[in-house]
Structure 1
Amino acid sequence: MLDQSVYALKPLEQSGMAECKLCVTSMEERLKLTKASTMARVDATLYQGIVDGLCYLVHMRLNIAFIMGYVSRFMEDPREDHWATVKRLLRYVKRMVDQGTVFPKTSKSGL
């Protein structure tokens, strides 16, 4: 079994969301974020660290690839609405922590 639970748990702990509630979807329906947001700024270092940490999960969890590309656009000047989207993604990742990819061992046929 190929498991990336370490890469999922690290951003959860780093953001203080290790004990958060789970979320069924990775993003809101019809989510519209913009760089011209007027909401309050958030700590860019924390935002960048969380998003960078989640990038490692994209290799095995393609279902978060779109939202990762979306939230990565706002790394230079993250705002509250961008951070709320990342927090929702973290809640979704927490739901998938114990999941992995299984490669069964077979006799002559390989994978």
Structure 2
Amino acid sequence: MTELLRKAGMNACKPLATPIATNTQLDPGESDALDDPKPYRQLVGSLMYLLITRPDLAFAVNRLCQFMQAPTHAHWAALKRVLRYVKGTIDLGLRIAPSTTPVLHGFSDSDWAGCTIDRRSTGGYAVFLGPNLLSWVSKKQQTVARSSTEAEYKALADVAAEVTWVQSLLHELGLLPTTVPVLWCDNLGATYLCSNPVFHARTKHVEVDYHFVRDKVVSGALKVNFVTTHDQLADVFTKPLSAARFNDLRYKLGVVPCPPPA
């Protein structure tokens, strides 16, 4: 992180509490293109590497990556804001702790039609083993969702696939938990869709591969439960948040101050 700030010439920059403002709309063509996009691409690429231990940066970096081809001065300003956030949180890292109850569970969330350019939704998930965050993602969905339920259902399918992969890995290591993994979603329509075939008539236009999650629920391999929006940890991967909300979710993900080296 120190090297990243040095490359950007921002060693002494003023820190910020969040990586992206709640009212930020990064659209192409809203300002002049950068004369040389290479520094933008290099810094964003470095931030992608930093995501290995900093899930709190996932949404902001995902947004910045969408403009790698033709970044503008507005995108450069957004990048500098992320670096100012890094400056203020340079002591944070991902906490991994031993657990006596290694229960596998995941949170999924989506913002419906959040992108003003193509109206695609941004989906995100967080997969935990006990209290430890194992896997996370923030990405734009491949198709346009016609409802918030559809967008959330697609996000559920993504986290179901990830949990299935983690289960397979744990099984090979001889560490597979005995409990059924639980997926938490804050959209009631999406949770019903996972187990109630009556809703299938309303989703005939949804690609077949997204119904993967329903097959897992019917077979008993996964459970899908409702969680309130306030307790939805994946909220941090789908939209800009206020400083208080962002800091709360960051702590719950396990991104905390690192202890000093021995």
TM-score of Structure 1 vs Structure 2, range by shorter chain: 0.7 to 0.9
Counterparts of 1:1-111 in structure 2, within 5 Å, are 8-103=1-96
Unaligned runs of 5+ in 1: 1-7
Distance 1:105 1:74 in 2: 39
CA distance in 1, matches of 2:21, 2:98: 39
Q: Is the 8 A contact 1:10 1:53 kept in 2?
A: no
Q: CA deviation at 1:102?
A: 4.2
Rg larger for: 2
State the identity as a percent: 32
User: TM-score with structure 2 length normalisation?
Assistant: 0.36
Partners of 1:33 and 1:104 in 2: how far apart?
37
Higher relative contact order (CA 8 A, sep 6+): 1
Per-residue deviation, residues 12-41 of structure 1 (Å, max 9, x unmatched): 111100111110111111211112223342
Give the match's secondary structure for 1:59: coil
Higher share of residues assigned strand? 2
Question: CA 1:21–1:42 in structure 2 vs 1: closer, same or farther (change >3 Å)?
Answer: farther
Q: Distance in 1 between matches of 2:9 and 2:45?
A: 16
- 1:45-73 CA distances to partner (integer Å, 9 max, x unpaired)? 10001000111111211111011010011
Structure 2: stretches of 5+ with no match in the other structure: 101-131, 133-262
Contact 1:22 1:91 in 2 (8 A): yes
Verify the 8 A CA contact 2:31 2:74 in the aligned structure 1.
no
- Is the contact between residue 42 and residue 78 of structure 1 (CA under 8 Å) also seen in structure 2? no
Distance in 2, Cα, partners of 1:31 & 1:103: 32
Question: Aligned pair count?
Answer: 102
Structure with the higher helix share, 1 or 2: 1
The CA deviation at 1:95 is 1.1
